[in-house]
Amino acid sequence: MNARLCRCAVAVCPVLWSGTARSQSVRVRNVPAEYQHIQDAIDSSANGDTVLVSPGRYYENINYRGKDIVVTSRYSITGDVNDIVNTTIDGSRPRYPDSASVVLITSPGQGHPVLEGFTITGGTGTAWRDARNGGTYREGGGILSEFASPRIIHNIIVGNEALLAGGVVRSAGGGAIRCGNGEPEIIDNAIIGNRGGYGGAMVLYYTAATVKNNVIAHNIGGYSFGGGAIWIAARLARNSPNVLENNTIADNTAAGDSSGIVDTSKVADENGRGGAILVYAGRTYQNDVILRNNIIWRNNQRIGGAIAGDTAAVHVRYSDVQGGWRGRGNISADPLFTDATRYHLSPRSPGIEAGDPKSAFEDVTDPATRSRIRGAAQVKERNEIGAYGGRGAHVLLP
């Protein structure tokens, strides 16, 4: 992704998108220098363009309108976390209450639209008719993606909700993110303090998702179909599991009291189950959901354990799961977080160098400071489980 946005001051510059075969002259559209609103820049964009947003608070509910574009803050140029903190898309003033996701991404094509470098807050979800079962759901408080494969990277997603499942709406879920019928990549985000009827942080519905190096904490869900943090239903295809790798999933709650939040006549048996993860396999497959190098700790649920549902479809390796879980390399030990905000591990943590020992998962560190760097003087160490392990770790909590 480092090459997708040129560091140039002119309006048109060559951009090479990683993961694709195309290299062309495309437009960088600057907000607010050229366009007052992010949506104005999106509406003017063509496939391959970049919408570059300067710091500020933008009261908008943006829609990609099926375009394969990059929407990014200046973080993509500077690498400065302050550009994420200070560039906010606030969806709390929607024009239409039933279209109140902060970001809506739909794409009938094969592209990978990018959302990068924002604080995303204030969303209350969109009433969305499900293409598979025909029901209407309020989903995706912060981000709603359908028939798309977006890259959602380097964002702070906080204070969104998908609740109020009354009237024609059957239920509600995905307080921060809902992705359906695609192959999303959700990487290096802080997903904190969101609420959903199910999946307080995230709903993955018929996906082959990659969820990696995220801090997912203090979310509340599970009022209807379980899943305090993450709710997963089926997978996109037989050989395309959902992979959750090097995440810290902590302090989430699958709540049991749904009064005033969801339609209690439609609450399922999973109510209050799976403080961290609730899985519906659809059919019984092994490895529908692969969990690797994760910390799953201090989550709360009304009944059962932190991982619930069709657990035969869940394959866990080299993870720290409170209460224990079968599988190679798994442990159940206090990870010894240094705090309950950023979830760094103390030097005495049992999670240090406890991840998958294969070279593909090794950490890359500065030999002098043991901090992550991108320079030449690097050493490789066994994976540190949790959000700060692995070669791509850049979790963004100031």
**pLDDT the model gives residue 370:** 52
pLDDT-derived band at 143, boundaries 50, 70, 90? very high
Task: Return the closest-CA partner of residue 273 out of 312, 322, 244, 310.
Answer: 310
* Cβ(233)–Cβ(280) below 8 Å: yes
The answer to whether residue 108 scores a pLDDT higher than 60 is yes
- Dihedral angle over CA of 247, 250, 255, 261, nearest 10: -60
- Read off the pLDDT of each residue in 197-216 and give the average, rounded to a whole number: 95
The answer to whether residue 10 scores a pLDDT higher than 80 is no
Q: For tokens 């199910």, name the residue.
A: 198
pLDDT-derived band at 340, boundaries 50, 70, 90? confident
* pLDDT one-digit tens code per residue, 223-244: 888 899 999 998 888 788 999 9
From residue 189, give the alpha-carbon distance in Å to each of 81, 92, 177, 266, 322.
12, 21, 11, 32, 23
SS3 262: strand
Task: Return the closest-CA partner of residue 172 out of 206, 147, 135, 146.
Answer: 135
**299, HSE (Cβ side, Cα atoms, 13 Å):** 41
User: Do the bridges between strand 62-63 and strand 103-106 make them parallel or antiparallel, or are there none, so unpaired?
Assistant: parallel
- Read off the pLDDT of each residue in 95-110 and give the average, rounded to a whole number: 88
**86, HSE (Cβ side, Cα atoms, 13 Å):** 9
- Read off the pLDDT of each residue in 67-92 and give the average, rounded to a whole number: 96
Residue 274 gets the label, from left (phi > 0), alpha (psi -120 to 50) or beta, of left
The answer to whether residue 339 scores a pLDDT higher than 90 is no
The DSSP line for 7-62 is --SSSEEEEE-TTSS-EEEEEEEEETTT-SSHHHHHHH--TT-EEEE-SEEEE--E
**338, HSE (Cβ side, Cα atoms, 13 Å):** 7
Backbone angles phi and psi of 361, in degrees to 5: -105, 5
* pLDDT one-digit tens code per residue, 318-333: 999 999 999 999 999 9
SS3 250: strand
Q: Which residue has the higher pLDDT, 16 or 179?
A: 179
The answer to whether residue 266 scores a pLDDT higher than 60 is no
The answer to whether residue 23 scores a pLDDT higher than 70 is no
Cβ neighbours of residue 326 closer than 8 Å, sequence gap 6 or more: 316
Tally Cβ neighbours within 10 Å of residue 109: 13
Q: For tokens 């099926």, name the residue.
A: 66
Q: For tokens 């990549």, name the residue.
A: 185
Q: What percentage of residues in the chain have a pLDDT greater than 70?
A: 83
| pTM: predicted TM-score of the whole model, two decimal places | 0.90
* Cβ(218)–Cβ(210) below 8 Å: no
Domains located in the chain, CATH noted? 12-381 (2.160.20)
Cβ neighbours of residue 285 closer than 8 Å, sequence gap 6 or more: 235, 238, 313
